[in-house]
Each structure stands twice: as structure tokens, then as C-alpha cells.
Structure 1
Amino acid sequence: MRIKSIISMIILLKITIFGIITISVECVNSNINNNESLDYSSRRQFVRAVNPHDKHSNINNNESLDYSNRRPFARAVSDNEDPATLFKKLPAVARLVTAIAIINGFSDGSIPADPVIAELLNIDTASLKQLEKFNKTSVDKFIESVSSAAMDSSNETLTVEQAMLDVFKIMTIWERIGKLENISTTYSLASLKPVESWSISEFKNFNLMNTLGLIDKIVKAESSPIPELKKQLAVLASAVTNLPPATTMKPFIVTLEKWALIDSFVDIMLLHNSHFDVLLFTSPSFNAHTVQYIPFATDPDISVMKDVVVSLFSCINRTVTAGFANGISDIEKLSSDSKDRWIDGILKPSVPLSNINILSKFAVEMKKLNYLWNPVSTETHYHMMRQVFDLQKHRGIRLTQNAIDSISNTLETKCLIADMDKSFLENMKQSAKHVKLLLRKVQALESIRNAFTSKVINDFNKLSTQTKSSDVSSIRTVLRSLSQSFKLIQNSKSLQKHVTGAQTLNEVYAEPHTQPLVTRLECLMKEIKNTDKIASILRSVKILRKLKSDRKLVEKFKEVSSAVSKSLPLLVSLRKIAEEYKKDNSSGMTDLKKLKPLQGLSKPFGDAVGALVSITKVSRSELETFVRNGESTQKIADIYGTPEQQRQFESQWGNFEATTQQIEMFLSDASIWEKSIAIKKNLNLSAYGQMFKDLTILNSIDVKLEPRLAATEGFDNITTNQRVTQIVAEFRASLMELSKLDLDFSRYKSAFNSMKEVLRSVEAGFKGEKLELSISVSRSGNVTTTTEFAIVATSSYSGLVYTVGTLVIAVILVTITFLWCWYDQSCIYHKLKRRYITNMKTAPELGSITPDSSQDSQSEREAERFVARKPHTSQLPPPPTPSPATLTPTSANTTTAASVTPSGKPVSKVEKLKKDRIEVEKKRVSKKSRLNKTI
């Protein structure tokens, strides 16, 4: 019996403990103010960086970073969420939050219709306002005038126009570089002599890609090739140690930077020798009258047309629609989002999310507007509108023919010199190239020397199997950031050749040709007036001629103007629909109003998730194609470009190596971040906060759309080499495609850092809880938290769960205690009961009956009732039978009167009690036997 009792008690205790745990977990989940207990930053598994040129990379060159289409990660018997699932579901949550925010904003008037419309169209609100004033008649008349303008395109006219542009460029360059006075004495190139002795050959023995691969294995804990890694780092350390300190390099860099301006001075000489003298004998009319009398459209009309066309190729700061990272197309996904089981399970919304379909009426009209704009948001329309917009910028410039003719007179009478010797120019150009190359290499060496200080090099020797993965990862980060510097140094020969070539500039610059040119430049700066107006007219003439060469110019332009004009009725309809939400008193709207606090979370949550969407959309192969074509385009400009094209290219192209570095860092960091995601399934939404915080490691990518389009204009029309034309065209196409993605991750760092709190608040908002939240948005679009997130529960759900749970546990504990004491005879309850009965039974036998015998009889009756009420008492020893001598007459009479046997013999009370006790014990044994059978 004791064993069965113990087993029963253990079972009940297990049930109780399970109930306690369940209630506790439920209460913790309900109390959203609890601190998050999952900090994945301390246990994330770093993985190796992936460099696009790394032979150790396990990512195929054609592999896309679109995680939605990738196979699930090989996580054997893992309880973690598949990142591919997160990359689909979290944007869906962001869409729901933004949709709820817009609906509530329309309902109470806190969000006007125009910002929503503008952001979904990817333009700013000012452009939307201007669209209402659009004058289609005016712009169509303008483009007809452009198409029909009569222009002189003879070779002589083209030469004059180019010569006038050369004059302006010469003056601009000279103003920018200064007079170059005392450059040869203050910054002597002879001081570069020590650079010749710098040894860079050891850098060629350092294998960067192999070193990164070894670090990856260590970080991933696949193996521990510490000896091999230390060997590679020792080669690097030796090469760095042989370099002079960075402070020693700095004076050489300053000298080279000054002399690098000579390259621009050579450009002046080349421009002077090109078509300069043609202005001495030709009237420079260059179609100025044609440009000056075109009936231009108004600037706002052309601007709004350009905004419509470029909307697909630009990124804006979304304030009220941040969760719609893909614009209007995201609205179509809301219906399926509201039915998603994963979302419903993790958010546990307090109202039906199907009410989100209230936004469908507004979405239908937005789709009509989107369908109207999509056909004109193409690359061909983009290039056409860029040129029209540039032409429009020169509107209203007036210059008389006399002012134009005065330029020829000035050149002929005041600023006349002979052309430069061609061999002299060639020598100076080559020397200038050596200066620029030497400057780049010394700057690369300085970067390497600054990164690998003596302390860092000493730490290389301390590497062991006990070294933390984070420490090894930091080495990888530094190496990757210097990949372009290593590439430049390892692909170069000794520095001696460049030093020797650069030093020849001292002699070349001192040639007698130089000073006469400087004198003429000063003359031009002093005597020629209206240079800005002349340059503006010249540019407009070139643009006008290029527009006229486009046979479909008028057709494409009118397609854009028609799309803009037809947008006006839809804008009116959209504003009307937005106003109707204020009158909507349906049950669905009432439910969504309970989620009003989510409106303050749409911006920070949407920004962070929008960055996540950009990461999943970018293609590795597309980025690598962009880099390859960009590098090829640089070579093409140097080999096939005309002097004019080369100058245009160099002035607009920028530092493409820096862009390449950004792309390599992004690809590697994105891979590391993705593989570090380790989040258990079925957790709170706030558990994904660390995943977003880790996105702060991502580097932004600036593809420089407008400057690089301008730099490559003209190269795509080189008919002598179709391969050149193809490469430039492919580069421009990939440049346009990348510009559609928002790759400026630096804008969202504050949003990433606040995502733990934001996610916790989003989770609470969907559960019908009030959020007191204050978030400010800076002008740059970054989100900063200005107050702590304070969440106050309005629902009594949490308290009810706690109360009911406590009562259930209390009842279970009481039941266990009762059953335990019922079966266990050693329980304190049974001990007290037996002691009490014993006292009651032995009281009449303790001596002669006293005058208080009536009180004793009363006690016996109470004992009898107690025994009858509790028939399962333990077996008691028979009480001693009192002798007749001890009985007084009073007691004897009482006993006789009390009871008699069936034979007529009197029975004492004690004997009767004994008999009753025996009967009760029999009943108890019988009842206990039946109970044991039942158990």
C-alpha cells in the first residue's frame, strides 16, 4: 500500500510541476516587458568570408544572393529557423504593419493620401504636387521645336564649337590647379630618391586568398590550420616590417600629390594644340541662334517628367510606406500575408488580420497608376529624358553675336602663342603618368603599414588553438579591406621605374615651352568674358544635335507626357478613396483601430526589413559582371577614347577600385551574416532582433549612376570596334540595374540597432496591447529612439492567466496532501487522531467513578461518535477490564442500566464499546479491500 501511495503521489507531483511550468511560460510570454533572454551574439558561429575571386569560395560565381530561391541550409537535426523562411516571412510582417498604419492613418487623418501615393510611385511629394499643374500642350510644343530645329552640322561648324569648348575647359582647368608656382623648388622630385630602395617583392610571396581560406576554416571550426596561417602571416609581417614607417611615407605622398596636377596641365597643352587656332579665322556662330530661340517648356514640367521616368532607378526615403520595400507590388501580397500560419502563430494577433483587405480599394487605383507609368520607366526613356533635362537647364541664356565674335579678336590680338612641340607633350604626359601611378602605390603601402602595426604583427606569433574565433575574424576583416591595395602592389614591378620616370618632370617642366603657355593662360583668364554663358550654349548645342539624331525622340517623349497627363484623374480618385476611410465604421475598421500603436513602428521596422529585402534581391553574378565590365571600360577609355572622351571619362568616372572594394566587402559580409543566423523555431518575434543588429557590419555600395553614365557617353557609339561598344553597353545596363536596389545600408544602422525593442513592440501591438513609443526620424532617414519603449497592458488576459493558474495549482496541491494523509498511517493527522481516541477510551478505567462520572459518560459518547464517523482507525489493544471491587454502587447500577445481553445478563459499557470497535474494524477492512481492488 505504501508503494502504491508513493507512486500515485509522484504522478500527481509530475502533473503539478508540468502545470507550473506551463503557466509560468505563458505568463512570461504575455509579459512583453520581460528582458529578452536570448542573446545570440555570444554564441553565433562565424563562417568564412567569401571573396568573389577566392578559389576556396564555396559559392558559385553564378549563385544569387536571392535566398528565397535557394535550397534550405544543411543544418542537421536543427531546431533553428531556416533563413530562407525568415527572409520571406519578416517582409510579410512589415507589409502588414505598414498596411495597418496606412489604414489607421487614413481613418483619423494623421496620414494624408499624397505621401502614400508619392512613396509608392518612388517620387517625392513635391513632384506629385507639380504633376497636378502639368501642361502637356507646352511640353509637346517644345519637343516638336527640338525635333524640327535647323542646325548647321558641317565639319567646320563642329570644329569651331569644339574649339570654343576647349577654351572654356582650358580656363576651368587652369583655375582649378592654380598657377603651379614654385612647384619644382618647394616640392622637388629629387626627394623621391629613397623610395627606389623600398622592397615590395616580398608582397608577391604573400597569398591573400589562401590566407583568407585558412582563416575561414579556423572560424568555422572545420579544422585548425594555425601553423599554416602563421606561416602566411609571417611572410606578410616580414614584407611590412621592411617598409619604412607610415610617418616617413607621408612627405613623399604630399610631394606626389602636388606634382600629380601636372597631368591636368598636360591636358591644357593638348587642348591648346587641338582646334584652338581655328578660332583665329572662323566666325564662331556655332548655332547659338538656334538654341537661344527654342520655345522651352517650363522647368517644373520637364522635371516632373524626368521624375516619372527615373522613379524605377532611384531610391527615396520612405516615411509612411517603409514596409512596402517593393512598392505597389507589395500591396498585392497582403491577402496571402494575412492568412499565413507562421505569422499567425508567432504574432497571435488579437484581431483578424483578414481585415487588412480594407486597403484593397485604394490598392486597385494605385495599380492603375503603376500600369500607366511602367511602360515609360525604361532605360531608353531614361537616357532620353536625361538629355532633355540637361538641355532645359540652359534655357533662357542669351548671348549676342558680337560677344561671340569678340573671343576671336581677343585670341588674335592679345593671347596668341605658337603650338606646343608634340614630342615635348608626349614626354610630359608619360612623366605625369609615372607620378600618378607612384602616388597610388605609395598610398597603398601607407595603408598596409598603418593597418599592420608592430602590435598587430606581434599578435600574429601568439596565435594558437586557444585563440578566439573573433580575434581571427578581425584579422580577416583587415585583410579584406586591403585587398585592392595588395592587388596593386603585387601586380606592379619595382618602384624604381616610376621614381625615375617621375623625376624627369623636373627637366620637362623647366622647358622654355612652359612659361609662354602660362602667360597665355593668364591672358585668357583676364581678357575673355562671358565664359559661363558661352559654355552653356555650347553644351546645349551638342545636346540638341544628339536629340535630333534620335528618330524616335518625339514618340518617346510624348509617351512620357501622355502618362503624366493621364495620371491626374487617378490622383483625384486616390485622394477621394483615402477620405472615405474616415467614414468607415465597419467592424473590420473597428478591429484595426485597436492596432493603432503599430503606426509608430512602420518606419523603423520597414526600414530594417527593406534592407533585408535588398540583400536577398542582389545577385552575385550581376555584381561581378558589373565589376568586370567596369574594369574593361576603364581600359577601353584609355585605348580607344579620343582625347576629348578621355578627359570626360577621367573627370566623371571616379575611383572604381573603391567601388570594387565595396562590392567585395558586401559579398563577404553578407555571407558571414547569413550563416551566423541561429534562431530557434516558434520563438517570439523579438528573438530576431540580433539578426538585424548584425546587419550593421554591411558596407554600402555606391555605384555612382549619374557620373558614370556621363563618363561613358559616346563610347557606346564607337563603330570601329563592336566589342568595345558591346562592353560599354553592358556596363551601362548593369549600372542601371544595380541602381534600382537600395544598397546604402549606412542609412539604416540606427534602425538595425533598435530592432530588438521595435520587434518586441510590434509583437505586443499585434496582441492588442498599448505601446507608448516615441521615435524620431532624422533628415537622412535614420531612425533614432528618443525614449524607452514602455508597454502598458490594457487587456486583463495576462492577469487572468496568472490567477487561474495559481488556483489550479493550489487545488492540485491540496488534493495531493489529502490523499497522502488518507493512505499513509504515519501521517501526523492519524497520529493525533489515535492519541485522542486512546485518551477517550481509557478515561473510565483510571479509578473509581467520581461524582463527575456523568462527564466521563459524555466523553465516552463523544468517543463512540468519533469512532463511528471514522471507521478506518488503526487496531487498538483491548482496554483492561475493571474488577468488581473497584466499582462503586453508583457505577454498578449505571452499568446494569446501560445494557443487557440477549440472555438477560447485563453488559458493561466498556464491553459494548469493545464489541462495537470490532464491528467497525471489520467494516474498515472490507472497505479497504474494495478500495485496493479499485486502485
Structure 2
Amino acid sequence: MVICGLLLVHSDCAPLNHSLSSNNNSHVPSYLDAFKELIAQHVYGTNDNHNPSDSTKNDDIFDLNSSREFLRAKRNAPPPDKLKELIDKSSSLARISNGIALQSGLMDGTIKIEDAVGELLNLGTLKVSDVVGFEMDPVKQLTGKLKGLPTNLDKSVEKLEKVGLEWKTLEEMSRTVGDVTKLTKPEEYFTSLKDYEKKFNFDLFTEPINKVVNILSKLEGIEKLKIDEKTDITKLETAHLNYFIGLPGSFREAIDELTTVKNTPNLFSGVAFIMDSSKTFAPFGEMAKLIDFRLDKLDDRPSYETVEIVKKNFKQLEDLAPMFSTPHLKVLNDVIAARTRREPVKRTVTTGFVNGASDLKQLGNDVRDSWIVSLSNNLVSLKRLENGLTPVLDIKRQLAPADEALLSISSGESSMFYLDSIQKDASTSVKDSSKLAEVFNEYEKCRMLHAPIVKASSIPSQQLIAKILSVEKMFRNLKAGVQKIDTTKVKSEMDAFIKFLGFTNIKDTTKSSPQLPDVLKKIKTTDNLKKFKEFIACVKSGLDVDPAELKNITADIIAKKDTLTFVGLEQEANMHKCLHDLKEDLSKLAQMIQLTQKLRSLDSKKIQKVENAASSLGTATNELKSVNSIPDSMMKDAKEITTEINKWPESLKSSGEIGQSVALLSHANDFKTLVLSGELDKFDAPVQTQITAMKKGKEQDTIKTLWGDHNKFVTDLQASSNQIQSIGTSLKLAEIKNFEDYGTVMKTSLEAMKDVTIDVKNKVEALDTLISLPKAPAELEKIKKTLQHLGSLDLTFSSHSSHFQKVPNALKSLYDFLVKFSIEPTQAPPPRSGNAPLTGRSPVYSGSNGGSSGGNDEDRESLEREGLQERIGLGVVIGVLLLLFIILTGYKYFTKRFIKKQLREWIKAQRYPSAPTAHRHHDTCLKTIVIETEKFREEMQKQSHDYLPERKHRNPGILCNPETALHKLKKDGEKMPIHANLVKSKNGKRFIACQAPTDKSKDHDDTTEDFWHMVVKERCDNVVMLCQCVESKSIKSAQYYPVAVNKPKTCGRYEISLLAEPGIFMEFKDIIVRRMLIRDTTNKLRKRTINHYQHVGWGDQKCPPKGKHEALYQLMKKLESKWIPARFQSPVVVHCSSGIGRTMTFIGIHTVSQDVIHDASGPWTNRLNLLREARWHAIQTTRQSYWLQMAVAHKLNWDYKLGMDEDLKEQQAMFYAMAFQEQVTPELAAERQMEKDKKAEAAAKGQKYNTTQKASPILGQVVLY
């Protein structure tokens, strides 16, 4: 075979190393280049949101189904962000320059290692020595104490604690009541009430009311008139005389009467005392309310035992207070504050490393980036640069453990705020706070001062006060009605109505009667009459008072005036005085009780996060103890090349100018990106919702003031953002040729930027208060972090002018130094003797005067020998490849034969002796799985609800497995949980099993947008729907797709269009095919075209119609592309209603088949377990399990051409008997027969009976047929 290879290459062609010369500056595109471009675009992507979701980790390297789309991506991509590109390139130069300066300074002692490490680890103003001195044990003692409080604080006194708070409330309420025993004005009121009829003229209101009522009567009559063009003239004249001719006069009379009432002086002066009765009788009413409050709320009395328990609880809180004073807690809080960048980061020696220690790793990439070589016209040596900076690059390795330990600390920020709120409350506890428990006994002494009162004793008094207040209300409403009378407006409205009617002369019946049909038509077709009637009724209501009713009420008040006071009233007031003396003690007691209650319901998870943060800081502390040795290590390992690179003159000053300028541009770009993203616009709504939910009062007003006018805040920032964006758009990066050009562009850009002042301090303070409130949404934490980041940006460009003005010269200095540094030192040539040549080959001479022709012959023979050697080598390679091909072909042939044998044996093994035996086997398999999984039902429910809100669960009992959920799926930069699971087969093919989308309802959120977002972000090309939207009058899925070509469907931000009329899949009428286009209306994501397959004949909890397999086999084959490796195919979305029965049965056709191919020996239970591990509850019934087993057997037979059609025909008949003829176990057969008998009995009585099998609550009997 090797000889054959040699023959293939043996020819008279020229040697391969002497092919036609090519121009190095030209390049002819090839298919390989096109493929490289395809790979590059797909792997690195041109995704618009720069955050591609890949829930399959590293499986989806490239998707050839989408190749055309990705080849178009470059043409359709948005314009590049020039400002970001400038920052990226400039940052590389800043890191290199700062790396040189930092290394030089650490090695010559001008930079302290503590300062450098503090900045690299983003410790803010904290010193490394402070962090090294941190001890986590005091913090852990505090957190341990706190975590134990929910169980250590005795709950048996909760009722008594509640009563203690109610006594505090009673004391506060009683402060405003006053002494009801010393009030004298009630007698004056009753005297005034007797004479009210003499002092107030009710007759003055009689005529205005009558006139207005008359107008309303006529308007109602007009409203009821039934007149049209056919009505005879006599009826028209009668209607005009009854309802219209007198309208102007009635209007005029009403206005006159209303004017009289309006202009009557001192109309209400005689009843002024009655109208202020609430001031007189309010104390009596308040006292009655306080009595009711005491009788309802303060029924529990302290005992010696309960007071002792309260003392013990209070003592625990008192012991807790000193533990908060440990200085180590402050260090932990300061580190978290620094790491979360609550304040702007100030750098002096690491200005080029804006991201801290992680940028040291990036520096390692920078010194190997060929871009530096290109920019310097090949004058900078990357090898020498990397070797020269080896000591400073090694710092990353030394700081990595500490930096990694500190990474997790930032997640404890919200928990530290929570702990801080506890600390503030704990600081209010006083020494000997256990003595406060004695206040329970003190207020009991006050309780003894009141007389025995039952609730009924104060009822007559409360009824009397209610009637007194109703009289006051009558007079006040009447006065308000008079004040509201605007006779000018009333006249204007009346004149407007007459004009609206449109009579030529309303007083002339002869002329007006024929016009009535048109007038009535106009009245019926407009709401003018209705509005005018409402206006007149409003005038009437303001003056409508019944003197007779008022007289009856006042008579009843006078008759029962002695019920105003009652037995025990004076003693109740004495009790209130006693409570006032305990005001301070009651206030302190309430504080301690509230703190007890707060700590009893303490969020242990947040305290645990604080403890975790302390542990992480403790780890970092241990790693930082050796940082002082870093400079010594650098000096010890230094080489000559390190000494050379450390000689850049004024490196710290120049690198500072470069780094500061890059940082300013980065801050400007961060600011622009944040504002343009629209995120700030969304902050106001949730904050306002939380403010509104607060109790109205001073605190709410303070929060409103602190939060301010957010719309104005955002609008002001948008103007500055637009200016920065404009500067970035106008950048001419293509004109940059060298280091200095970058400096010039940075300088001119920063000069053009106007200062931006951002004050978020008040907003953050408002958010801190809102976050500390109960049930504060987690969204507020995100808003706060974003605002803190915004506030940390340094946008006062003018104050840094001295830095960026010098950046061109600084970069030129860096370039000049690196070019000089890159020149290798001159070395002496190696010694040689005589006239020996410098190389291993004899020199070749050519030319007319330079040697003989023999030299040329030798050269030609040498070239021929080399060409022959290469052809021999190529022949050997080809021969070896051909041999490998034969070996692999043979291996594949025999492997396939072995697999076929195994598969035939597996299919034969699936045969059962009888249909009932088959049913018992599948019933047992499912019960085995159910019994195991249902043990963990509560834990599963918690995990599912922690991952996905309950309102996004279609069925509360169908839970989502968070282990296989799409955790990397994001929407607008945030994780988007969805009731879907990734199912992967042995060959790498991926399916996404999910529930059907839901519409917004009482119990569910709208998830149609989430569904389409998942399809687009996961780059899915196919969606399989195994249900109808409505089945048996039950909603199974939202209508998330369009039904007509010209009627797109909108689901949130996505618009879905049909590209053609729906068709039938192959010859299978139960499967509808739709070709759809998905468009993101926000233009953040590209359009996507998908195939939608809907099976409309497969019922819930059943198997496909008649148990046939061909349709779903062909559909699965369609989804299994034979041209693309399975692991590179895009995921297939499959759903039914809940996404567990039909969905997982269909997916199992592929996944179980692959499982059998890889291992034919496993039991059927293991196959089902694989499906349930991927998606909980998979496969609902024994029929589905058996059908899937048969579907896998058919698929393997058809795929591998096993020739087992007859065997499978017999097995299919047995399946049909079990699934459709109910040849099942005797127990189930008896149950089914009993259900049918009940149905027949119900039918005989004319009733309906549901024979659907119901799940048993007994574990192990829950599997449905």
C-alpha cells in the first residue's frame, strides 16, 4: 500500500518546495477562508446584546443550520462602539505602562507593597494591615448568637408581648382625649339645640328645592317622550305645552330663589355652636373608643412566671448589644463597602489596573498581543516585554487566593445592611433591661384604677354622640351646598340647554311643535340632557335637607342627653393619668418587645451570609500575611532584562497620566451605556410603589423628598449621555497609526466632554430605608447597586485636565522606551577557525564571473534529490491514510453488525407473555420511581418555587427541576427563569422540554414572551407542540402563535408571523406544520425563522391515536439531521400542556433509543429514571410507558433495518390489547368495571358520571392507567 502511495507521487513535476512564487501582500479567498469566517462569526458571535445565552454549557460550538444567518450577521451588525474600542486599546497601553511603573517602584522601594496590594484588591481607604489584623471568631460568635435567637427566645410569652405593645398604644391614644369630667360645654350645646328652629329659617330652602324639583320632573318627562316623524300634531302640541313651553320660566324662577338663598346674610350664625359639636363631644367619643380598645385588646394579664420568661428574653438581648461593638465587624463592613464600590475608587500607584488584581492577568495577555507589534511597526519585541515584566506578572499568582476569597464577599452587602439594622435596634436596649419586665406589673396597678365596665355600658353614649355628629353633618353639608351655588354658572348652563334644544321660538307652540321630532332625535343621540340633569340634581343635593327628620333626631338627643356620661368614666380617666406617668417605661418596654419579635423572626440566611463573608475575609487575611515579602521575592528573582525595563524614566508619573485618562474615558462610557440602556427609567415605578405602601406620615414624606423627581434626574443625565455618545461616534480610529495618536485622540475626546455632576446620596439613603422595611422587593437592591455604581463614576473631566493634556507625550515616551528596550544587546560572533563557512552548507556562487557551470549542475541534482525525498514522504503519508481508512471501515462494519445483534436481542426481550403482564410490569416500574421521588416532594417543591415563581407554574403540582433548568438564559441582562428543562441524549442531541405558555390570569403570569425569548436566545429552529390550545373545554396552552398569514401575533416584545398557510406533515393529517418568523420589536435580537409542528390528535395522559408510531417516528427523523452531528444541532423545543407526559414520551423516542444503543442490558426502570432525572414527573401513565417502549423498538428496527417487522407486529397487537381493550391486571380491570357500572347507574337516573381514573393519595398507588 505504501508502494501504491509512492507511485501516485512519482512524476516529473517540479519539487514541491519550488512551487510558483506568490505575493505575500495579496490573498485569494478560498472555501477554507469562507469556512473560517463562518466558524469565527458563529463561535464569537455578533449577538446584538453581547450576552449570548448558552444553557448547554460548551456543547453548541457551531450550528450549521443557522450558517446563512450568521454569514449575514457581519453585514447586518450594528455600528461598532468606537469609544469602547478606543478604551479597549488604550487600556492595554495603560496596563503595560503601569506594569512597568509598579514593578520598578516595588523593586526600588518608591512604592510600598501595602499601598499596591490595597489598590489591587480594591480595599478603598482600608489598609492591608487592618485587613490582616481581622479576626473572624468575634464575628462568628455574634452571628452564632443571632442564629440561635429564633429558638432561644421563648415564644410562650408572645401573647403577653402583644398586650404590652397594646398598653403602649393605649397610652399614646389617651394623650389627646383630655379630662372629660371637666368639660362644661355640653350643657351649652343642649340649650342651643332646643332653640335651633327659632334661630334657623328652614322655610328659606323650601321654594328653591321645589323649583329645582319641578325642573327635574320636566327633564325626566322629556327623557321618556316617544316622538318621531309619524307622531300627529295634536300629540306634538300637547308635549310642547307640558314639557317645553314653561322651561325658560322655570329656569328663571329657580335662579331667583337660589340667588335669594345665596345672598341671605348670617344664615348659619344661629347654629354655629351646633356645627362645632364635634369639638365638644370628641373627648367622649374618644374615651368610649379607648374603653372598647382596652376591653378588646388588653385581656391577658401577666403572671410571675410569664414576667420571669420576659426577663430572660430581655437578658439575652442585653448580652447581645456589646457583641456588636467588636472592631472586626467594622473591618468586615468596610471591606464589603470597598469591594462593592460604594465610594469612587482612588488609585495612585495602580491607575492602569482599573479592575484591580484581575487586570494583572489581562496584562499577561497584553504583553502577548500582536496588536502591539503592528502598532509599533514591528519595533517592539513581545518576548522581551513579557520576560522583562515577569516579576510583576507573578504578583497575580501571589494575590489570586486572596482576591478569589474576597470575590464572594460582595454578595454579603445586603446582609450587612440587615445586620446593621439589627445593631441599631439593639443599641436602644439599656442596661438592666430585664428590669423593664417589671413594667408589666406597673401597668397592672394602673389597670386596677378603672371601675368594672362592660362594653354595653358605653353603647348609649356612643349612640348619642353619633346622632349629635349627624346633626352637625347635616348643617355643614347644607352650608357647603349654599356656598357652592354659582348662580352665574347655573344661568349659563340653563341658557346653553335652551340653545341646545334648538327651537325657533320655544314659547310659540304652533311653530315649535313640528320641530319636536328633530329636537327629540337630537336629545336621544347625545348626552346633553343627561349631563344637564346631573348638573341640576347636584344643585338640589346641596340644599336637600329634611326638617322633619332633623327635628326627630334633635328631640331624641335632648331626651337622652343624660346617657352622655356613664359609670366608670371618671375612673377610666384616672387610669389614663397613671399610664401617662409610665410613658417612658412603656416606650422602652415597647422597644425591647419589638426587638424581641424582630429577632425571633430573624432571617438566618442573611446572617449566614455575613458569617460566610467573615470566613472568606479570614481566608483572605491568611493569604495576605505574606505580602510584605513580595518585593524581596521580586528582587531575588530579577534578571538583567528586568533591570533594563525598570529604567523607563518617570514611569509612575507617565503611567499615571495614561491610566487616569483611560479611567476617565471608561467612566464616561459606563455612564453613557447605563443611561442609554433605559434601566434608569425603570427605577421610579418600583420605588414609588414601595413608598406608597408605607404608612402615611413624616417618614414617608422624608423618603419622597430624598428620592426626589426621578424623571428630571434621568432627563438631566440623558443630555450629558447624548453629548458623550456624539463624541464617540465622531472618533476617527482608522487614522491612529502609533502610540502618540492614541494619546491625542484621548486628549481631544476628554477636552470635548463636559463635566457631569451626579448626586445619588439621597436616593441611596431613601433606598436603604425602603430595603429595611418588611417584604421589600429584591429589585430595590439592584437599583441601589446600580445607583451606587453611577455615583462612583468620576465625570468631572475638567479637574483632570493636567493629566490628559500630557497623555500624548506620555505614550510617546512609552513607545520610545519600548523600542529602545526591544533591541537585543550586541553579542560577539561564535569563534571559528580558518576559512570555514558560517553555516553548515557550502556557499553557492552564481553569475557570469562567479564560478563554473559544475556548481549549477550540483545545485540541480540537489534540488531533484530533495523533490524525490518529498514525493516519497508524501506517498508514505497517503499510504498510511489509506490503510487507516480500510481499518476504520472494517471496524465500523463489524461494530454495526454487533450493534444490530444486540438490538435484535433487546427487541425480542421486550415481549411479554400477556397484555396484563405488560401492564403489571410498566405499572411496577412507574410505582417504583414514584415511591422513591415522592419521599422528597416537599424539598422538590421548595427547590422549584425558589427557582421559579409559583405564578409561572401552569400546574402547582408539576414542579421544575432546577438542576437541568436553563440557568444561563437571560433577558435584558437578568436571569429569566422558565418552566423548562434541558434533556440531552447519549449522542449529544438536545431537547428543551417545557410546559405550554400561559396567558395572564388570576393564578398565572403571561409567559408567552418568555417562551419566544427562550426560542430565540437558545437558537432553536424547531418547536413541537403536542396538544391543542383547548381540549375537552379545558385550556391546555395559550394561543402563542398566529393563525393566519396576514395577522401577526404579538407576545410581549416579540411579533410572530406566519410565512405561509399551515400545511400537513407528510401524509399525517394529525400533524400541522407552520413556518414562522419571530421578530424582536426592540431590535435587540435578530429575526429568527422556525418550524412549528403541532400534533392535534394526542390526548392528555394518553398515547397517540390507535397507538401508532409512524407519524411521530417520521417527525423525529425530520428533527434528527443526518448531515450535522447531533451535538451541534440546535435544541428542539417540545411541549404539551404540563410538559411531562406527551412531551417526555416523544423526547424518549430519541433519548431512550440512544440509551439502548449504548447499553442494551439496562432495565426499563432505568430508562424511565433518566427521563425523570431530566424533567420531574416525566411519563404519566402505564400506557405512555408501554407505548414508548414499543416506539423505541420500532425506531431501532427501522433505523438499523433489523427486519423484525413480524415480531413487532405481534408485540404491537399485545400493546393494543392492553392500551385500548383494557386487558390489564385483575385489580385495575375490577376498578374499571366498577366505574363503568356506576356510570350506567348514573345514566339510568339521567345523571352524568366521570369514569376518568383518579390518582390515589396512597403512596405507590398514584400511577394512572
Greater per-residue helix proportion: 1
- Bucket of the pairwise TM-score, normalised by the shorter protein: 0.3 to 0.5
- Please report the TM-score for the alignment, with normalisation by the length of structure 2: 0.33
User: Greater RCO between the two (CA within 8 Å, min separation 6)?
Assistant: 1
